[in-house]
């Protein structure tokens, strides 16, 4: 008996009241849904099973045994509301003021058709444990704000019912046409648009994240928790080092370094600080500058690469490094090889893979790191080579392109020189003509209101 399928039967007269079955007296009663039941003689949760035609069975569990209550339902046309016949008699309640929020059910003569006038005998069904109203639009799954998934016993249509108690129920228009959404028959997108308070479907649509997105969010949340543990251990060790070196700036420098590092490099920082703290006291007194240099080296290492979170390379790795202590070892190994452009680090397996080119793909267990200095698989970069002179250039440019690029540069220089020469010559002659009376200057072409033409023609 799956408790997620448990249902409660509510009264249409007031949906704060639910139907309860007294297992001792074998009768029904109406109770407020917040009514505290002090004994277990009342059953309010059932599983409903269809028997035949309008005959159903309410199944409940009591003392590890399942019991059935045979009932008949008379449905309202085009609706999920119904009357209940118990022992072939109509369940009816007279709602009166009652301090205990409990009302008796009386049995009336059976009826053959649904009667709206018997409004105190009209019921509907809801899941005990609310289920979100889920739909699929354009191959993307969404929850609809303000609605719960509901049951329609009459024709098995998928129904969502407006629930004013939900946090985002205010986004739904409080009109009768928006109380229910029939997912089997209604034009869902149009219905949602009409029922949204601002007439925009996005107001009521809440995208459901995929399993990959959920796992990524979990990893990020887990990293935040670990970050607190890292901070505690780093503070503890940096305080010890600060006292032994008698240098109060060490704690501040360590914290600033910790804030500016990616999660993988924070592990490197913690390991380095721990190792430094294990050094002999006499040796550390003479090395306060060495500690700050160590922090700067870690920062510089983290800046050399771009982090591609939850990505790995499709290409084949040219080398694999096992039993890696932390990402710093991968970093150093990649820097040793001029052809290394990317590497992946799997902290669960302590594994590094090195690549000379990389096409990214999703991988929730791995991060990829790409060199910033030269994107060598994209070609040679003169600005990067100038600013990163320490990295020797890698001849990845095809040989046939080198003479072509040389000729192109020469052509650009020649054309630019000729153009600059012409501009200089024109400017010089124009200035010279201003001070020479014998020089003819066609000023007429500079007058926009004149229709005259120059007396002389020039090429």
Per-residue model confidence (pLDDT) at position 417 = 93
CA 56 to chain centre: 43
**For 193-213, what is each residue's pLDDT tens digit?**
999 999 888 889 999 888 778
Is 299 within the bounds of a domain?
yes
Same structural domain, 256 and 340: no
Is 457 within the bounds of a domain?
no
Same structural domain, 28 and 117: yes
**For 306-362, what is each residue's pLDDT tens digit?**
888 888 888 899 999 888 877 888 888 888 888 888 898 887 788 899 998 888 888
Taking phi over 0 as left and psi of -120 to 50 as alpha, with beta for the rest, 191 belongs to alpha
Q: Count the domains in the chain.
A: 4
Is 404 within the bounds of a domain?
no
Same structural domain, 87 and 137: no
Same structural domain, 220 and 172: no
Per-residue model confidence (pLDDT) at position 38 = 63
> Which regions in the chain score pLDDT beneath 50?
97, 99, 282, 284-285, 376-380, 385, 387-394, 459
Per-residue model confidence (pLDDT) at position 440 = 65
CATH assignment at residue 104: 2.80.10.50
Per-residue model confidence (pLDDT) at position 380 = 45
Is 413 within the bounds of a domain?
no
Is 440 within the bounds of a domain?
no
Same structural domain, 255 and 281: yes
Is 395 within the bounds of a domain?
no
Supply the pTM of this predicted model.
0.45
Is the sign of the CA dihedral 347, 349, 354, 358 positive or negative?
negative
Q: Which of 97, 127, 157 is the last residue of a domain?
A: 127
Is 232 within the bounds of a domain?
yes
Backbone angles phi, psi at 396, to 5 degrees: -90, -15
Q: Which of 184, 207, 230 is the last residue of a domain?
A: 207
Same structural domain, 13 and 123: yes
Q: Do residues 320 and 313 touch, judged by C-beta distance below 8 A?
A: no
Same structural domain, 215 and 185: no
Per-residue model confidence (pLDDT) at position 145 = 92
Closest CA to 393 of 187, 82, 48, 402: 402
CATH assignment at residue 357: 3.50.4.10
Per-residue model confidence (pLDDT) at position 99 = 45
Same structural domain, 317 and 365: yes
Same structural domain, 299 and 309: no
Structural domain range at position 239: 211-303
Integer-rounded Cα Rg, in Å, for the chain is: 40
Same structural domain, 109 and 140: no
**From CA 335, how far away is CA 194, in angstroms rounded?**
60
Exposure pattern of 352-379 as b/e (b: 16+ CB <10 Å)? bbbbbbbeeeebeebbbbbbebbebbee
Same structural domain, 261 and 319: no
Q: Which of 303, 336, 354 is the last residue of a domain?
A: 303
Is 365 within the bounds of a domain?
yes
Same structural domain, 12 and 59: yes
């Amino acid at each position: 008996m799956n408790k997620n399928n448990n249902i409660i039967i509510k009264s249409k007269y007031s949906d704060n009241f639910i139907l309860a079955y007294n297992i001792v007296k074998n009768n029904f009663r109406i109770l407020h849904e917040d009514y505290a039941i002090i004994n277990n003689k009342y059953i309010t949760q059932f599983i409903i099973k269809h028997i035949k035609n309008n005959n159903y069975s309410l199944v409940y569990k009591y003392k590890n045994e399942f019991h059935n209550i045979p009932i008949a339902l008379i449905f309202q046309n085009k609706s999920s509301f119904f009357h209940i016949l118990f022992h072939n008699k109509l369940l009816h309640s007279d709602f009166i003021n009652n301090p205990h929020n409990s009302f008796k059910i009386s049995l009336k003569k059976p009826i053959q058709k649904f009667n709206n006038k018997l409004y105190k005998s009209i019921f509907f069904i809801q899941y005990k444990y609310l289920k979100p109203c889920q739909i699929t639009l354009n191959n993307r799954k969404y929850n609809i704000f303000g609605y719960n998934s509901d049951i329609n016993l009459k024709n098995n249509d998928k129904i969502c019912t407006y629930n004013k108690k939900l946090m985002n129920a205010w986004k739904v228009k409080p009109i009768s046409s928006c109380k229910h959404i029939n997912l089997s028959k209604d034009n869902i997108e149009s219905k949602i648009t009409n029922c949204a308070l601002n007439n925009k479907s996005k107001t009521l649509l809440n995208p459901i994240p995929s399993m990959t997105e959920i796992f990524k969010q979990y990893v990020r949340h887990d990293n935040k928790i670990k970050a607190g543990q890292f901070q505690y251990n780093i503070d503890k060790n940096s305080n010890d080092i600060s006292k032994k070196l008698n240098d109060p700036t060490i704690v501040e420098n360590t914290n600033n370094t910790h804030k500016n590092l990616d999660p993988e490099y924070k592990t490197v920082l913690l390991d380095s600080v721990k190792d430094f703290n294990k050094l002999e006291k006499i040796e550390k007194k003479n090395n306060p500058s060495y500690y700050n240099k160590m922090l700067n080296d870690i920062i510089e290492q983290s800046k050399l690469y771009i982090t591609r979170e939850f990505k790995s390379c499709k290409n084949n790795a040219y080398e694999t490094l096992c039993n890696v202590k932390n990402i710093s070892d991968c970093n150093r190994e990649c820097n040793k090889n001029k052809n290394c452009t990317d590497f992946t680090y799997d902290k669960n397996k302590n594994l590094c893979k090195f690549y000379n080119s990389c096409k990214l793909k999703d991988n929730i267990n791995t991060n990829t790191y790409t060199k910033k200095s030269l994107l060598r698989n994209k070609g040679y970069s003169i600005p990067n080579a100038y600013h990163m002179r320490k990295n020797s250039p890698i001849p990845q440019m095809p040989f046939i392109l080198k003479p072509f690029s040389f000729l192109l540069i020469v052509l650009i220089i020649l054309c630019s020189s000729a153009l600059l020469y012409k501009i200089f010559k024109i400017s010089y002659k124009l200035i010279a003509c201003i001070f020479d009376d014998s020089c003819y200057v066609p000023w007429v072409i500079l007058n926009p209101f004149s229709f005259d033409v120059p007396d002389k023609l020039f090429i």
